Chains A and B, each alone.
Chain A
């Protein structure tokens, strides 16, 4: 049984560009959450998707948007990239409100 998978593993972009990160949840999980982890910090909650809708959102600007597909996979989109968006982006999946399982993350570098 595959766990949570994320792609790509690493990504380098320049300021002002747009990026899309992808996440496939653990089998049987219907809820996907996204987190941003800056260097030396704990992860910060971006948003959570359930039944293809954004259920809860953290303190992130509208440049951060997402989507969940009928197969429960999810995308995180970031527009107009800033240097400060450089971070590890983690996806976590869960079944409803139970334990969240994390993927290995996507390391985004903005130059």
Chain B
């Protein structure tokens, strides 16, 4: 089973600030997904990255997949209170049916 390390574990910032969270593995990802989980809800898929070096943008969120496909980052520009939640890095899916989750980064954006 692939182990995913996420950092930081907790992050508390003010509205309007920028932030980056990281996901690392000792082995190569076939693909990597980022989910966001809000309190009282299940995780919701934000993006899937497949190709080394790939960059995907989702409004103020920018996702990057490392060239060696062993790490990924999520950058949020001008954070809003609605960005508050648990950001989870996930491997698996597709033909490898189960999803393996990291422990997540708990982001709190204060007004």
With the chains together, A92 CA to B97 CA distance in Å?
A: 12
Interface size on B, residues (CB 8 A): 21
Q: How far is the CB of A105 from chain B (nearest CB, A)?
A: 6
Contact A55 B45 (CB under 8 A): no
Is A100 positioned at the interface, with any CB of B under 8 Å from its CB? yes
Contact A58 B98 (CB under 8 A): yes
Q: How far is the CB of A106 from chain B (nearest CB, A)?
A: 11
Contacts of B100 in A (CB 8 A): 45
With the chains together, A39 CA to B106 CA distance in Å?
A: 12
Tell me the total A-B contact number using a CB cutoff of 8 A: 55
Is A56 positioned at the interface, with any CB of B under 8 Å from its CB? yes
Chain B 72-99 interface mask (CB, 8 Å, partner A; 1/0)? 0000000000000000101001110111
Chain A 80-111 interface mask (CB, 8 Å, partner B; 1/0)? 00000000001010000101111111000000
Q: Identify which of A48, A99, A105 contacts B98 (C-beta below 8 A).
A: A48
Task: Choose the segment among B36-44, B50-58, B59-67 that binds chain A (4+ C-beta atoms closer than 8 Å).
Answer: B36-44
Q: How far is the CB of A45 from chain B (nearest CB, A)?
A: 4
Contact B45 A4 (CB under 8 A): no
Contact A43 B43 (CB under 8 A): yes
Chain B 8-30 interface mask (CB, 8 Å, partner A; 1/0)? 00000000000000000000000
Nearest 6 A/B pairs, CB to CB: A102-B42, A42-B101, A45-B98, A56-B97, A97-B94, A42-B103
